[in-house]
Amino acid sequence: MEGAFLVNEKGKVMDILSSIDKENQNIQVVANTGKINQQWDIVYADEYPAEPTKGQLNKDFGLYVERDFYVVSELANNKYLEVVNNRNIVIKTPNGRNTQKWYFHQ
C-alpha cells in the first residue's frame, strides 16, 4: 500500500476497468493516474463491522432489521400495499392483516 493505492513491484496499481462500479467488473494493473477507481481501503477481517441484527437499523438501506412496517401510498387516501392470493400486490385500506405487513430481512 502506498497511500490509497495497491502498488506492485513495478509501480503499477490495481484499477477498476473503465471506472465502472458494478458487480463482477474486471480489475487490471496499470500506471497510476491518481483517480478514484484506483484507490482502495484495507479493512482487517477482525475489524469488519458486524451485520445489524433484529431490531437494529441497517444504515445502508435505512430500514430496521425484522421490524414490521407498512408501505403507505402518498395518494390522497393513503392506502397500504397488500399481498393478495400470495402473488399479487395491490393497494387497500388499512385493515391490520399480516398481508399488509412488511419487514426487512438482513
Q: For the purposes of burial, counting CB atoms within 10 Å of the CB of 19, is it exposed (0-12), middle (13-18) or buried (19 or more)?
A: exposed
Classified as helix, coil or strand, 56 is coil
**What's residue 18's pLDDT?**
95
pLDDT, position 50: 85
All residues at 6 or more sequence positions from 79 whose CB lies less than 8 Å from its CB, including other chains: 72, 73, 91, 92, 93, 94
> So what's the pLDDT on residue 64?
96
For 53, half-sphere exposure in the C-beta direction (CA atoms, 13 angstrom radius) is 1
Domain coordinates of the chain in residue numbers? 1-43, 57-100
Closest-CA residue to 68 (of 58, 78, 55, 51): 55
pTM above 0.75?
no
Distance from the first to the final alpha carbon of the chain: 33
With beta carbons less than 8 A apart as the criterion, state whether 25 and 17 touch: yes
Read off the pLDDT of residues 8-56 as tens digits, 9 standing for 90 and up.
Answer: 999 999 999 999 998 889 999 999 999 999 999 987 878 878 889 999 9
